[in-house]
Amino acid sequence: MIHWSTACPDWESRIVARLSLLPFAPLFPDEAEAALAVFKSLQVVDLPKFEDGATGELRHPTFGEVSEEWVFDFARAIFGAYDAKAAKRHIRDFFLLISKKNGKSTIAAGIMVTALIRNWRHSAELLILAPTMEIANNSFGPARDMVNADPELRVILHVQENMRQITHVITKAVLKVVAADTDVVGGKKAAFVLVDELWLFGKRANADAMLREATGGLVSRPEGFVIYLSTQSDAPPAGVFKAKLDYFRDVRDGKVSDPKSFGMLFEFPNDFLKSGAYLDPKNWFITNPNIDRSVSAEWLFDKLAEARREGENAVRSHLAKHLNVEIGMNLRANRWPGANHWEKAVDPALAEIYARSPFDALQALLDRCECVVVGNDGGGLDDFNGLNILGREPEEFEIEFEIMGRLVKQKMKRWLSWSHAWCHQGVLDLRKSIAPQLLDFQRAGELTIVGDELIDLGSIVEIIDMIRQRGLLGGVGVDPAGLGELIELLGAKDITDENGLLVGIPQGYGMMNAIKTAERRLAKGLLRHCGGALMPWCVANLKIEPTATAIRATKQNAGDAKIDPAMAMFDAVTIMVTNPEPHQASSVYETKQLLMV
């Protein structure tokens, strides 16, 4: 029995020291070296020709002559996991995360051509799956050129350019390049699959099912593999890309034991991201292992300067694509100012619980607060129903600020925020562009997707009533235009306008005070939240529209840019600024006029 681990828990020190990110030796060294001999002999056609000293002929340089060692490590991991005697590959899933311009597509083509040559199964299918036609052509081009540049390969490999495929003339195995946006993916029986630009698949609602269909052939082909290639996304990771990225990170870090999966992830250690050291050009080799080969440090520097002139969005996109820095919040130019402070306002204790169970985090928030108010904002069946719980801690914190050159100290109480949302299942079809994000929120427990029974209002009322029974409820703020059924349900719980617990919150320009208060408290550390992915997405979707005398919050893009949980937070803030006191819940005997003294 062979025992190995694909975990690389010391990856941070390795990547900074330019050491190998391959934490294990090839399981079958002979297979690794045999495949590497083929891979290293393939010509890289987009590099200029030179005169071969041995033959005197002009030819392009080969992978063996121009590649960095990390390329060979990745190839060793893939081909060295194959047990030729058992016709079985022991590591089957691979992930390469690397910045743009590091030769990813060319390396992918070389690996798949090598697999086509080394494959023994007759009529086998090898598949490169690209998200778009353009990317498919980018993947097929280098593979075609490698074959055409080598007289020996032209004898055994037949290129069919119009079909974007290469056929082995002896085994009849076929390497096909397929574009997911135009070609049929279903029915493939591929033994070897390479998925290019996984981040773009993460934006597709049906990508998970598509990839399962494309990789289904491996069930009966134990010699096969699946390779995922990607740069970072130009938006917060979502869908199948986020799922794969999180999983391969966990495997790398040793949080998940899966010896059949291996990821080579070129990203900055957390300390570099926190300190800003990732912006120092001397550290750019960390996510650009081909720096000053296929990618120029000077070019990266110039492009970053250009992005800075264009604005923050351009900078974030540049950092994601060329430095592999994950985008947390995709902030726009006309964003809500509080969004700038949202990420740093996470309460660590609540966030730790929230990551495991959002509703357990709600209970933890209630345990810390002396008074709690609730905000609710919802639309129709194509919208969110957002809920925000805003609690006030009893402890006072001393804040320092300067007035006319004099340092002033003031004691203030901190607020804690928790949010959840509900939406009808029809939103997944109506808003396909955000369906991957919605499914991610659902998996994280931050969004509940309901059917035609529409249990959202009932769930919201039960949460509010639970807060009331704990003697913490200071009020419920709602959009007056969206009360409807909610009035009846809350009235049955003794939460009414008459007893002051149900408050209609002015919308539009009437919410300006809450918007300004929330952003100031976030900046001062007096408004903290539970973290998660739902609220950063909603907060980033806010657009502030100014007038001569006021401002109002609205959506960046009508329809797809959901903001209801954020608007619910402003509803709650509107009540909390009045410094409410909790309403003591009535005894069940008192409400039935049976109170005994």
Residue 11, token pair as written in the block: 């990856």
Supply the pLDDT for residue 587.
47
| Helical packing angle, 239-253 and 207-215, nearest 10° | 60
Distance CA 80, CA 41 (A): 17
Average pLDDT over the chain reads: 90
**Per-residue confidence (pLDDT) for residue 596, from 0 to 100:** 44
Cβ neighbours, 10 Å, residue 471 = 12
Strands 125-130, 192-195: parallel, antiparallel or unpaired by DSSP?
Answer: parallel
Max distance between CA atoms of the chain, in angstroms, equals 109
Number of neighbouring beta carbons within 10 Å of residue 214: 22
User: Both tokens of residue 242?
Assistant: 């986020």
User: How confident is the model over 515-531, as pLDDT tens digits?
Assistant: 999 999 999 999 999 99
**Tell me: the pLDDT tens digits for 550-569?**
777 887 665 677 999 999 99
Say if strands 58-59 and 50-51 run parallel, antiparallel, or are unpaired. Answer: antiparallel
Which parts of 197-355 are beta strand (E)?
Answer: 225-230, 261-265
3-state SS string for 61-125: CEHHHHCCHHHHHHHHHHHCCEECCCCEECCCEEEEECCCCCCHHHHHHHHHHHHHHHCCCCCCE
DSSP codes, 278-313: GGSGGGGGGT-TTBTTTB-HHHHHHHHHHHHHH-HH
Indicate the fold that domain 11-271 takes in CATH: Rossmann fold (3.40.50)
Closest by CA position to 415, among listed 522, 337, 339: 522
Q: Are the C-beta atoms of residues 311 and 333 closer than 8 Å to each other? A: yes
Residue 401 has pLDDT above 80, yes or no: no
Neighbours of 505 (CB within 10 A): 23
pLDDT one-digit tens code per residue, 19-49: 999 999 999 999 999 999 999 999 999 888 8
Residues of the chain with CATH 3.30.420: 339-576
Q: How many CB atoms lie within 10 A of CB 268?
A: 22
Q: How many CB atoms lie within 10 A of CB 544?
A: 18
Q: What pLDDT is attached to residue 385?
A: 92
Report the predicted TM-score, pTM, of the whole model to 2 decimal places.
Answer: 0.84
Q: In the predicted model, what is the mean pLDDT of residues 309-330?
A: 88
Q: How far does Cα 32 stand from its chain's mean position? A: 33
* Mean pLDDT computed over 262-269: 97
Task: Identify each DSSP E strand in 353-482 by its residue range.
Answer: 371-378, 384-403, 406-424, 447-450, 473-478
CATH 3.40.50.300-classified regions of the chain: 11-271
Mean pLDDT of 12-23: 97
Query: What pLDDT, in 10s, does the model give residues 426-464?
Result: 998 888 888 999 999 999 999 999 998 888 999 999 999
Q: Give, in degrees to the nearest 5, the angle at Cα 7 between 6 and 9.
A: 155
pLDDT-derived band at 365, boundaries 50, 70, 90: very high
CATH fold label, 339-576: Nucleotidyltransferase; domain 5 (3.30.420)
Interaxial angle between packed helices 358-368 and 348-356, expressed in degrees from 0 to 180 and rounded to the nearest 10: 150
* Cβ-contact 279, 300 below 8 angstroms: no
Residue 543 pLDDT grade (very low, low, confident, very high; cuts 50, 70, 90): confident
380 in Cβ contact with 360 (< 8 Å): no
* Confidence at 594, pLDDT banded by 50, 70, 90: very low
Residue 354 pLDDT > 60: yes
Cβ atoms of 528 and 343 closer than 8 Å: no
How close are the terminal C-alpha atoms of the chain, in Å?
76
pLDDT at 592: 44
Give the model confidence (pLDDT) of 285-294 as tens digits: 999 999 988 8
Q: What's the burial of 11, exposed, middle or buried (CB within 10 Å: 0-12/13-18/19+)?
A: buried
Average pLDDT for 215-224: 90
Write down the pLDDT at residue 74.
97
pLDDT at 546: 80
